[in-house]
Amino acid sequence: MKLFKKSLNLHTLNCLTKIKATDMKSYLKFRNLCTVFILGFLATSCVSNVEEQQEELINADAKVSYTNDVKPIMDARCLSCHGAGGNFPELKNYTEVSTHAVIVKEEVASGRMPRGAALTAAQVKSIVDWVNEGALDN
């Protein structure tokens, strides 16, 4: 009986050490997995940072659009006085606005135009930038 107890104890001890060994293995596996995850996460966050920076660069490069930015301002704020048969210069379309781009920029930047009203700072910037970028038909 005593002998049996002893061998049982030994057996349990054996089992315990085995369990510990497998525990250790799975712990190591888990740790490796964590490392892979963390590295993967860091790598992707770096990549998305680079993408963001590229986007910013593209935006910094972006030109002001005549069609999307300048024309809507002309139509809403200038045509009432510079439409067909109105004050010089007529500003109805790209050809007319680009022909007078320099004086349009001067009048808007100085705040002389639109007469009796004011554009927002962003609208003035759009027009000034568009002229500085070459008054493109874009």
The interface mask with ligand HEC, positions 46-85, x = CB under 6 A, is -------------------------------xx-xxx---
* Distance from C-alpha of 78 to C-alpha of 72, rounded to nearest angstrom: 10
The interface mask with ligand HEC, positions 88-127, x = CB under 6 A, is -x-x--------x--xx--xx----xxxx--x--------
At 3, list the tokens. Answer: 């002998």
Q: Which DSSP letter does residue 112 get?
A: -
* Distance from C-alpha of 132 to C-alpha of 126, rounded to nearest angstrom: 10
The interface mask with ligand HEC, positions 2-41, x = CB under 6 A, is ----------------------------------------
The residues, any chain, with a CB within 8 Å of residue 70's CB and separated by 6 or more, are 64, 97, 126, 127, 130
- Select 38 or 76, whichever has its Cβ closest to ligand HEC: 76
Least distance to ligand HEC from the beta carbon of 66, Å? 13
DSSP string, 80-116: HHHSTTSSSSP-SSHHHHHHTHHHHHHHHHHT--STT
Residues that bind ligand HEC (CB under 6 A): 77-78, 80-82, 87, 89, 91, 100, 103-104, 107-108, 113-116, 119
